[in-house]
């Protein structure tokens, strides 16, 4: 357990350094609204709303999908409010898919 917390602290520090280097400044709001992307990545990658399933590789695939979605909408010049709405709809679709597939497995 100690190694897991130490590892996550180190990874969070590296992420903070990369974000600071990317923006050329340290702002307290630099990571705002990234939590929705992280949750959506996990659900898209196969994590269940009921717990017990999900893999690291699935979460990475979900993160790549969310990154492509974010980058694509930014390149196309989609308004930030619409980007959030689209990401919310993608998250909602992933959760609905998970719930429906779990119900079908429970019925069989």
Given a cut of 80, whether residue 62 has pLDDT beyond it is yes
Question: Is the full-model pTM beyond 0.85?
Answer: no
Identify the band that residue 108 occupies on the pLDDT scale cut at 50, 70 and 90.
low
Cα separation, 67 vs 75, whole angstroms: 12
Given a cut of 90, whether residue 14 has pLDDT beyond it is yes
64: number of CA atoms within 13 Å, CB side? 7
């Amino acid at each position: 357990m100690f190694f897991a917390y130490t590892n996550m602290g180190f990874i969070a520090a590296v992420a903070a350094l990369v974000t600071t280097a990317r923006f050329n400044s340290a702002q307290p709001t630099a990571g705002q609204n990234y939590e929705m992307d992280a949750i959506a990545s996990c659900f898209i990658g196969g994590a269940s709303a009921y717990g017990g399933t999900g893999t690291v590789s699935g979460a990475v695939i979900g993160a790549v999908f969310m990154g492509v979605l974010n980058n694509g909408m930014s390149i196309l010049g989609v308004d930030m409010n619409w980007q959030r709405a689209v990401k919310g709809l993608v998250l909602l679709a992933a959760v609905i898919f998970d719930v429906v597939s779990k119900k079908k497995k429970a019925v069989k």
